[in-house]
Amino acid sequence: MGAYCNDDLTLSPKYTFASSQDLRFSKHVHDNVHGNIYLDPLSLKFIDTEEFQRLRDLKQLGAAHLVYPGAVHSRFEHSLGVYWLAGEAVNKLKTHQVWNAHVLGLELGIEDYDVQTVKLAGLLHDVGHGPFSHLFEREFLPQVLKGSKWSHEQMSVKMVDHIVDRHHIDIDSGTIKRVKEMILASSEFALPKSAKEKHFLYDIVANGRNGIDVDKFDYIVRDCRACGLGCNFQFPRLLETMRVLGDEICYRAKDYLTVHKLFATRADLYRTVYTHAKVKAIEFMVVDALLKANDFLDIASHVLDPSEYWKLDDTILKTIETAPDQELSEARDLILRIRRRDLYQFCNEYAVPKDKMENFKEVTAQDIVCSQKSSGVILKEEDVVVSNVRIDLTRGKSNPLESINFFKDYDSEEKFSIPDERISHLLPTSYQDMIVRVYSKKPELVGVLSEAFENFQLMTYGIKAQDQGCNYAVSFSLLILSGSYRTVHKPVLGRDGKSSVR
């Protein structure tokens, strides 16, 4: 990632409002990424509720702040950022396209109603998130709600209804219906669009069509800033130049590499921050603590009722840690280990070979335990954590830019896709990595577990950890930066001082 410059990340102070009165009746807050954000009266009715204010106690990056100390930003500020960018995006489309309409006949018919709906969708898109970001949804709930397909997007929709009903917010049902459709637009639970036209509006906040949306614009820049990383992806460039052609948001052909940087920077964040080896170790400990506390505190039941769900946030750990109840002693002990940095130990990792990716089956603790050879210590599944980390450019093994359309210039009505080979031979040839990591819950088992993991690699792929210290994390970051990211297939040493991640 390139050098960080805060000035480049701040949007222009030229704000566009639906009416001249909006600014007078709006409240403004100063955001450390976007500068002044103006909150309109309707949005404030949602913001000034206990359900939305709960987002202040949900860290955007879960447990990452225990590795990256600056990553203490919350879902609250992210939601305000997405609200603001959503409004900027729809207003820029409205203003810029009207300017060209007399030439191309591209009048979009964007009304004040559309602007308000898109902004509300941006504001409320994350109101259904649980404690510790995606950890709650992807790691904890699947173990306590077997077979459930619970998602934070669906809970966001339920929370929107709950807020409207509980606080008697005067808003028409049609607007709320469209807001919920926009929140779910990129998920597997997407609803049929109620509007017969202007489908491009549904791609602004959560883009299920090609993955370019203002949600990513905000969290990529905000997360890079909080973690002290550079960010060479410039979203204002895309906001200024995007156009709608054929009911689809398209981008200038000359901005192809800017779009690519969006996905490359996201992938780099996944590798270096979101799935950092120590971040994941801490997250596994948090999950185990929640699992041990679940029966006593009945945590999982909160997801069934929005009126109870809003009471659940990151402070659940402090509740467990300070409660005197004997039933929470095991959970308390795990939290104490986190506080004292007595973490689950990272043993080793390897990247699944490219030719094995198609039929890859997730590795389990049982696979590792069964690979143990004769030893004085017998491994148990409950002492092992296996992490199957998938990193891609938002479209699995496919190139996300294949689903994006471009235009030549502002006088053009034609949209088209651009093959990689027409841009650069340094762009990726692979778009997905699968990394398998193993952790030991007990420090004394690290050596035995590392050996069993090496045996598993040898039996499965005919490879084993190399003696030289191949720094996979650094290699990955450099490849992303250079634009020549390709899947690296070398296993990485762990406990002998040559681990790829510290």
What does the pLDDT profile of the chain (502 residues) look like in tens digits? 333 333 343 333 333 333 434 577 789 999 999 999 999 999 999 999 999 999 999 999 999 999 999 999 999 999 999 999 999 999 999 887 755 554 444 578 899 999 999 999 999 999 999 999 899 999 999 999 988 889 999 999 999 999 999 999 999 999 999 999 999 998 888 878 877 789 999 999 999 999 999 999 999 999 999 999 989 899 999 999 999 998 999 999 999 989 999 999 999 999 999 999 999 999 999 999 999 999 999 999 999 999 999 999 999 999 999 999 999 999 999 999 999 999 999 999 999 988 888 889 999 999 999 999 877 888 999 999 999 999 988 877 778 888 999 999 888 889 999 886 666 666 776 788 999 999 999 999 999 999 999 999 999 888 775 433 344 444 444 344 434 343 333 333 343 433 333 3
Q: Could you give the CA distance from residue 471 to residue 490 in angstroms, rounded to a whole number?
A: 10
For the chain, how big is the Rg over CA atoms in Å?
A: 24
Angle formed at CA 185 by CA 179 and CA 186, multiple of 5 degrees: 140
**Token digits of residue 231:** 């960010």
Contact in structure between 248 and 415 (CB atoms under 8 Å): yes
How many other C-beta atoms are found inside a 10 Å radius of the C-beta of residue 241? 17
Single-letter amino acid, residue 223: D
DSSP 3-state of 321: helix
Q: Which of 204, 171, 218, 208 is nearest to 186 (CA)?
A: 208
Are 66 and 280 a contacting pair, CB within 8 Å? no
Active-site residue flag, 152: yes
Report how far residue 92's alpha carbon sits from residue 80's, in angstroms, rounded to the nearest whole number. Answer: 18
SS3 content of the chain, % helix, strand, coil (to 5): 50, 10, 40
Phi and psi dihedrals of 56, rounded to 5? -65, -25
Alpha-carbon distance of 332 to 317, in angstroms, equals 9
The letter for the amino acid at 240 is E
Q: Of 34, 78, 129, 152, which one is the catalytic site residue?
A: 152
pTM of the full predicted structure?
A: 0.86
The 3-state DSSP class for residue 27 equals strand
Residue with tokens 């634009």: 483
